[in-house]
A and B are shown apart, each in its own frame.
Chain A
Amino acid sequence: MIVGLQHYLILSAVIFSIGVIGVLIRRNLIVILMSIELMLNAVNLTFIAFSRYLGSTDGQVIVFFVMAVAAAEAVIGLAIIISVFRHRQTLDPQEMQLLKW
């Protein structure tokens, strides 16, 4: 059985869904951020698989931009987490309800 493009796409879909589970059910901001990284990596895998099977390097270049955005997102997210922890001494998103009606 030859490994085709759809095998990689299905693998990415599974990893992405696992990341979605993490964002939905965890109550720790750091783990939620890690799940977002997992989802971004699933998308990267899709880009690389398409680039391989369509014979174009454009997908690989776009992965670099995704990595740059992911790095920026992780840095800002962790800075916000540090600043929130300093004020409330918790990482639970359920506790951050100042703007909740």
Chain B
Amino acid sequence: MDIASAIFYLLATLLVIASLLVVFLRNVVHCAMALVTALLLIAVLFITLHAPMVGVFQVMIYAGAIMVLFLFVIMFLNPATLEKQQGMWWGFGTILAALLAGVLIPLLGRDELPTDSVAATELFGSPEMLAKSLFNEFVLPFEIASVLLLVAIIGAVVLAKREHRA
């Protein structure tokens, strides 16, 4: 077992533990902290997969912006009451998700998939190469994404605004 596999298995184990903590911890703030850990671990996985640019954006956008927003809402609403446990539905949901995993894992774990990665050039995953791709063949989705973000900003302001009662 070489060092690259050791790093992958360590990251994968920590990632699964962090994800389980997100789902099964009862305090919302603890869930958010576990999610930050999971997102940072995924960023490290991105960097090991020769996608340093995406890894940096993962840290900035997810672990930075989105999680700050989540924590802000948690602090703002301050949901003091712990949620009620529910025995039957917990078991049902877990079995359903286990079935999904049982279908997905044999489907994805086939042996004919490539095991050795394509030899990465110096430029692979660099900002230069990504920008070339983004502004040539993906320029229309790029513009649509900007419109989507504008709509999201306006929608959030309208939804969260305090209502004026006439």
Contact = CB atoms under 8 A, between A and B. Distances in A.
A25 B94 contact: yes
A25 B141 CA distance: 35
Interface in A43-98: 44-45, 48-49, 51-55, 57-58, 60-61, 63-65, 67-76, 78-83, 85-86, 91-92
A33 B57 contact: no
Contact of B23 (A21, A54, A80): A21
Interface residues of B, number: 84
Given A3-B5, A48-B54, A76-B156, A65 B22 contact: no
A1 B159 CA distance: 52
**Chain B interface, >50% SS class:** helix
Interface string B115-133: 1111010001100011001
Given A41-B42, A65-B145, A48 B31 contact: no
Contacts, number: 236
Interface of B: 1, 4-5, 8, 12, 15-16, 19-20, 22-23, 28, 31-32, 35, 38-39, 42, 45-46, 49-51, 53-54, 57-58, 61-62, 65-66, 69-70, 73-74, 76-77, 79, 83-84, 86, 89-90, 92-94, 96-98, 100-101, 104-105, 108-111, 113-118, 120, 124-125, 129-130, 133-134, 138, 141-142, 145, 148-149, 151-153, 155-156, 159-160, 162
Interface of A: 1-22, 24-28, 30-31, 33-35, 37-38, 41, 44-45, 48-49, 51-55, 57-58, 60-61, 63-65, 67-76, 78-83, 85-86, 91-92
